[in-house]
Chains A and B, each alone.
Chain A
């Protein structure tokens, strides 16, 4: 475990007290941080210092701190989840930074993700998209045995690739159009690959895309930034499947 100590780093961070107030950047000095420390722990250290100085700590979303809950966000030095591949911000470590560096930290920027406070953004739009159709309409109980419908391993694996989405919003934050296509594609593609999900596939694709458009996300221009930023490396091939599902549904109207 690398135990190099960074004596001084500067964190230039967006401060905004409430959704309506005007934000600004502030630069803070953080001293003596081990490179083995995670990025969020570095923010913890900074916050502790701010509290003791009588200042307001930086509000940021985080929870599991092991890269699966999707709560943490932050746009660090021009990268959603920071300059490391296949990680969330909580898995980003200080060994990716060097002595004396200024780290620019911004919230996700998208019209559909308004800032709540500092680094916290409101991702309710994602909830609404899921509620529009990201499910199989089955009630609890009365279900036949799990092995009644066989599913090929390849299909199950591909569905799992898409289902790995953690709903963090890095795709939206990275996309130059703030498009939610990869997020929507992950769910549509997962369920389209499984026989259980096929039954409502058309309805689902139309409903989820319509909701996405309604909520102010941009459109997909196949830039591919989303899959590079995605901490779970979800491929834009799933976007192709979403397009296919959507077009098929629309043309059969």
Chain B
């Protein structure tokens, strides 16, 4: 099996499995985040955040998620490096077949930008909630239980229009990345044919749009509302 991990299709297989895993994580992430916009008191979001922080299953999944990210990132770097090596001399005229912004051509670039965003994002919230703490997180009581006031942390951050902008860009990047990544993952594991290829591509664009809109909606909501 070690030869499988380094074979071209094997490497891509890992990318697609981790990709699908990350997409399912993002789906939960987005759903919970949208609670931010349902309840301006913040209780609903705080409850959800607290559930995520204390549920044992989620606790187990957390390191798995980290591994998923790490594999997805490392393998993408490896694949990209190998792929660049396959064409030592570039074309003078470039590639005129796909438009320059096509996500399919720019997955590594999109992924890299998402990674930068991810680091900022982690420092904005996760690090504070987990390790360093923040005065805004001072405990609140929701339904009788004490928990972090994650809502305060989030809503405070989104008061800064620059952060709003950053999160909007981040949302669009994720959407673009998925608009290719989703069907590509199924293609790689072999779940596709003439008919499903079209369906999956359609679905991928829909998912990309939904995720982009969803993630953009939150900062926009805060920007407009407050």
Contacts and interface: CB of A to CB of B under 8 A. Distances in A.
A217 B86 contact: yes
B8 A237 contact: no
Contacts of B95: 78, 174, 176, 225
B97 A218 contact: no
A229 interface: yes
Interface stretch (B20-28, B160-168, B187-195): B187-195
Interface string A205-233: 00001101100111111111100110000
Interface stretch (A2-10, A59-67, A104-112): A104-112
B88 A111 contact: yes
B10 to A, nearest CB: 7
B156 interface: no
A201 to B, nearest CB: 13
Given A112-B86, A218-B83, A250-B10, A223 B104 contact: yes
Best-buried of B9, B82, B93, B107 by chain A (most CB within 10 Å): B9
B90 interface: yes
Given A104-B93, A218-B83, A237 B7 contact: no
Contact of A219 (B1, B4, B83, B96): B83
A178 B88 CA distance: 10
A210 B7 contact: yes
Interface residues of B, number: 44
Contact of B9 (A106, A174, A218, A243): A243
A216 to B, nearest CB: 6
Contact of B8 (A75, A179, A229): A179
Contacts of A209: 7-9
A51 interface: no
Interface of B: 1, 3-4, 7-13, 79, 82-98, 102, 104-105, 107, 180, 183-184, 187-194, 197
Interface of A: 14, 25, 75, 77-80, 83, 104, 106, 109-112, 158, 174, 176-179, 181, 209-210, 212-213, 216-225, 228-229, 235-237, 239-248, 250, 253
